[in-house]
Amino acid sequence: MEEERETSSMTCVTSKDPFQIPNEAVSKPKKEPTTTTSTTKTPKTTRGRQKIEIKEIIEESKRQVTFSKRRRGLFKKSAELSVLTGAKIAVITFSRCNRIYRFGHVDALIDKYLRNSPVKLEGCSGNNVAEEESKRPWWERPVESVPEEELEDYIAALSVLRENLGKKIIAMSNDRPVEIVPAWPINMMGWKPTMDMQNMENPTDGITRCRVGQNG
Amino acid sequence: MEEERETSSMTCVTSKDPFQIPNEAVSKPKKEPTTTTSTTKTPKTTRGRQKIEIKEIIEESKRQVTFSKRRRGLFKKSAELSVLTGAKIAVITFSRCNRIYRFGHVDALIDKYLRNSPVKLEGCSGNNVAEEESKRPWWERPVESVPEEELEDYIAALSVLRENLGKKIIAMSNDRPVEIVPAWPINMMGWKPTMDMQNMENPTDGITRCRVGQNG
DNA sequence: AGCTATAAATAATC
DNA sequence: GATTATTTATAGCT
């Protein structure tokens, strides 16, 4: 974000920036579409996106807004990377108040991560996986091959698979519903829409809440 | 990325786009800084960033490049979100060849996630956590408060904490070094540089590799 | 929650 | 791996 690069693209902008002098004491031009002699310069209504330092945002409301916007952006980027490259991605976000926001096949990938890869979600292309695929048990088949109708069963089955991780995990997971957030949550062009993003974004924990007005 | 929004900002661009007609059959002007009559239009050397559809990239090398670039971008965004809002973030990426790339306090957050929040990384601001902090055992203290010199000990201690997750997990994790990827990997302005990003990005698995030339 | 102008990410290219 | 021109993300307002 704040690399040393100072290449000014956008050389086309010829209008003088009306927001130049102090930071806050700017007399905003107020959008007036047709009244004034608005032929010389474009009467900008906002300063647009401003450069910020990457350091903790102190102001409460501001931090919440940034958290919300950027988390959305992060999940979108994750989804795009997943679709574009076929990678499996899981993102876990704990807000300052320990509200949890998840993206992707979190549970499946955590299993995979902890077990050091046994849950094979997708074969490597060009590895003539197709023939080997049929020999594999259901839970090693690509997630994509699971029909949407069977998703519930698949999820349930996955929770059974989790037993292989150890009784202790199962015990701890029992009071939390085992669910999978689809990797294709956003209904965008060319995407496989299974559930809406809202559902994915809502905090799903039963975790101690902070007082009202806290970030997260 | 490909929402229905078609709002054309950038209305300032007056130069005609020389790359207009077919998509690939463009006669590239080739960068010639001072020779040609480059006064009328800017002799663009590239088409710049092109709009792409969010669908699987078929071409192998192209997909690899995109995976590399966008993964880097995703981790950067994660780091920024973490610093800006104080959120704890973990990102796990399995490439198509099951190479694993991680970001953030993956192990700690997985523990937290599986246990439904016991590992308290940071208190909620304004909750007068400071006084309660001192009562907490070391492993509940904010990760940031751990001095860099103690990081190794902290990591080791965390692996002990994992035992609370169950003997089975420990058994499975034994042949994999338990490590923590720092949440501040990029040495950017105002950042806390602990390790380099390269180290973080390198695949850390001992997982079956695909044939050479595969994505991930 | 929506808008606008600008900062930042990145597709194509070298 | 570096550059460039463009698309996309988003900071500040409303």
Q: What is the pLDDT of residues A88-104, one digit of tens each?
A: 999 999 999 888 999 99
* Chain B residues inside the 8 Å CB shell of A3: 188
Interface check for A178 against chain B (CB to CB < 8 A): the answer is: no
At B97, give phi and psi (nearest 5°). -95, 20
Output the pLDDT for position B70: 98
Q: Are residues B112 and B151 in the same domain?
A: no
Boundary (domain end) residue, out of A118, A148, A165: A118
B126 found inside a domain? no
Q: Is the CB of B70 under 7 A from strand C?
A: yes
| Highest mean pLDDT of the ranges A31-35, B102-106, B117-121 | B102-106
Q: Are strands A100-104 and B88-94 parallel, antiparallel or unpaired?
A: unpaired
The answer on pLDDT for B121 being more than 70 is no
Q: Is the pLDDT of residue A76 over 50?
A: yes
Per the domain annotation, does B82 fall within a domain?
A: yes
- A79 or B216: which leads in pLDDT: A79
User: Quick count: other Cβ atoms within 10 Å of Cβ A210?
Assistant: 19
Closest CA to A129 of A113, A141, A112: A141
Tell me the pLDDT band of B116, cut-offs 50, 70 and 90.
low
> Which pLDDT score, from 0 to 100, does residue B211 have?
36
The answer to whether residue B24 sits within a structural domain is: no
Confidence band of A116 (pLDDT split at 50, 70, 90) = low
Average of pLDDT values for B37-49? Answer: 71
Expressed as residue numbers, the domain containing B104 is: 58-118
Same domain, B73 and B104: yes
Give the mean model confidence (pLDDT) for residues A148-176: 38
**Cβ of residue A2 closer than 8 Å to a chain B Cβ:** yes
Minimum Cα–Cα distance from B207: chain A residue? A117
B41 found inside a domain: no
Q: Is the pLDDT of residue A9 over 60?
A: no
Measured from Cα to the C1' atom, the residue closest to D13 is A46
User: How many domains is chain B partitioned into structurally?
Assistant: 2
In-domain check, residue A105 = yes
Kindly state whether residues A108 and A62 are assigned to the same domain. yes
Are B69 and B111 in a shared domain?
Answer: yes
Pair A79, A112 in one domain? yes
B113 and B140 in a single domain? The answer is: no
Whether A68 and A102 share a structural domain: yes
Q: CA B175 to CA A161: how far, in whole Å?
A: 21
How far away is chain B from the Cα of A80, in angstroms, using its nearest Cα? Answer: 6
In this prediction, residue A65 carries a pLDDT of 97
Residue B18 falls inside a structural domain = no
Q: What integer is the mean pLDDT of B178-189?
A: 30
Determine contact: B19 vs chain A, CB below 8 A.
no
Residues in chain A: 216
> What pLDDT is attached to residue A92?
93
Lowest mean pLDDT among A64-68, A109-113, B201-205: B201-205
Q: Is B167 exposed, middle or buried (0-12, 13-18, 19+ CB in 10 A)?
A: exposed
Q: How does pLDDT run across B4-14, given as a tens digit for each residue?
A: 333 333 333 33
Same domain, A114 and A63: yes
Cβ contact A188–B95 (<8 Å):
no
From residues 39-98 of B, list those within 7 angstroms of strand D by Cβ. 42, 44-52, 77
Asked whether residue B71, judged by its CB, lies under 7 Å from any atom of the DNA or RNA strand C, the reply is: no
Q: Is B40 exposed, middle or buried (0-12, 13-18, 19+ CB in 10 A)?
A: exposed
Contact B78, B89 (CB under 8 A): yes
Q: Is residue B51 part of a domain?
A: no
pLDDT score of A98: 85
**CATH number, domain with residue B98:** 3.40.1810.10
Provide the mean pLDDT of chain B: 57
Examine residue A189 and state whether it is found in any structural domain, yes or no.
no
Does B137 have pLDDT greater than 80?
no
